[in-house]
Amino acid sequence: MSEKFIIGVDLGGTNLRLGLLDSRYKLKDKIAFGTKKFIRKEDLIQAIIDSVHKMTSDHALDKKDILGVGLGLPGPINVREGTVHFFPNISGWRDVNLKSILEKKLRLPVFLDNDANLMSLAESKLGAAKGLKNALCLTLGTGVGGGVIINGNIYRGSSFAAGEVGHIPINERGPRCNCGGRGCLEVYVGNQKILRQAKRLFKRDITLEELSRLAVRGNSQAIRVWSKVGMRLGLALAGAVNLLNPDAIVIGGGVAAAGKVLFDQVRETIILRAMSVQAQKVKIYRAKLGPDAGLIGAAILVRDNLEKSHDLQHVT
């Protein structure tokens, strides 16, 4: 039997990444591009379709060679219906049945989930949380996504919208959040907020990568920025630790590249603010799969769904 492949799509607030994976979740190729230029959702959907076609064309693959397409999306998703409720950081999306649209255009099975859920799925199957029954996984980037693993499975909640750690309110009078709430964690630790804080301190534009490098080198202002981020993140996570009592918290995404200064502050805050029994249990890990976690999780999503529906046979 010829080898089968899966196409994974990871849509963020800033970039779209698409990967071709084999049936063992090994990445064979990737495409990435910015999404800011796509003002209308129809244009972004067409860009996804065109990217899938380009990937299959580049590798001379027919539809029979593709098991399906999995998408990780930056907002609450009805995974049963394949509907996007909305995206907090991308305007113009409201109750869009993206699964139906893409399946009609691509003529392939399509499965959708929240991007942080797919990162969590990948990290629990193949990454930092492998072998753990209960974990909370976070992606820190444009926004703050979260996925909850309970007894080895993603917990999606009654509306398939569980895990929104970024929208835990930590300040009752805080700034408005894109989700419609006020004082959400994401308002304080999303990368745009971090960069604005850094610009005020350094009196110039600065990238997250440079801010991380400066902190590693001992720059006091950079350490100050990351310590504040870690404190606020740890505060929200202390509540989650009390609620869920997980084995571990796995933190990934671009912001996690800050490394030790961020993680040490998160650990310290959880120890100080969470209840002692839960705080002593939980471990804090950096995600292992890096920026490819969402693509790997999207591929796992496709295969899991096909296996559940008995559509996948004799795949090794």
- Which pLDDT value is given to residue 211? 94
Phi, psi of 149 (to 5 degrees): -105, 120
C-alpha span between 142 and 1 (Å, rounded) = 42
The β-bridge partners of 77 are: 84
Q: Where in the chain is the domain with CATH 3.30.420.40?
A: 5-118+292-308, 132-287
Tokens of 12: 């963020």
CB 127 within 8 A of CB 287: yes
Is residue 2 predicted with pLDDT exceeding 90?
A: no
Q: Domain 132-287 is in which class?
A: alpha beta
Is residue 312 predicted with pLDDT exceeding 80?
A: no
Q: Output the CATH code of domain 5-118+292-308.
A: 3.30.420.40
Q: What is the pLDDT of residues 64-100, one digit of tens each?
A: 999 999 999 988 899 999 999 988 878 889 999 999 9
Is residue 233 predicted with pLDDT exceeding 70?
A: yes
Which residues, 6 or more positions from 80, have their beta carbon under 8 angstroms from its beta carbon? Answer: 160
Sheet holding 90-96, edge to edge: 77-78, 83-87, 90-96
**What mean pLDDT is predicted for residues 20-30?**
95
C-alpha span between 122 and 158 (Å, rounded) = 22
Is residue 313 predicted with pLDDT exceeding 80?
A: no
Sheet holding 283-286, edge to edge: 153-155, 144-150, 135-140, 248-252, 283-286
- Which pLDDT value is given to residue 75? 87
Is residue 316 predicted with pLDDT exceeding 70?
A: no
- Which pLDDT value is given to residue 234? 96
Secondary structure string (H, E, C) spanning the chain: CCCCEEEEEEECCCEEEEEEEECCCCEEEEEEEECCCCCCHHHHHHHHHHHHHHHHHHCCCCHHHEEEEEEEECCCEECCCCEEEEECCEEEEEEECHHHHHHHHHCCCEEEEEHHHHHHHHHHHHCCCCCCCCEEEEEECCCEEEEEEECCEEECCCCCCCCCHHHCECCCCCCECCCCCECEHHHHHCHHHHHHHHHHHHCCCCCHHHHHHHHHCCCHHHHHHHHHHHHHHHHHHHHHHHHHCCCEEEEECHHHHHCHHHHHHHHHHHHHHCCHHHHHHCEEEECCCHHHHHHHHHHHHHHHHHHHCCCCCCCC
Q: How confident is the model at residue 1 (pLDDT cuts 50, 70, 90)?
A: low
Phi, psi of 253 (to 5 degrees): 95, 170
Q: What is the pLDDT of residues 172-222, one digit of tens each?
A: 989 999 888 999 999 999 888 999 999 999 999 999 999 999 998 999 999
**What mean pLDDT is predicted for residues 34-59?**
92
**What mean pLDDT is predicted for residues 150-166?**
91
Q: How confident is the model at residue 310 (pLDDT cuts 50, 70, 90)?
A: low
Sheet holding 110-114, edge to edge: 27-34, 15-22, 5-11, 66-73, 110-114
Is residue 228 predicted with pLDDT exceeding 90?
A: yes
Is residue 290 predicted with pLDDT exceeding 80?
A: yes
Is residue 311 predicted with pLDDT exceeding 80?
A: no
Is residue 30 predicted with pLDDT exceeding 70?
A: yes
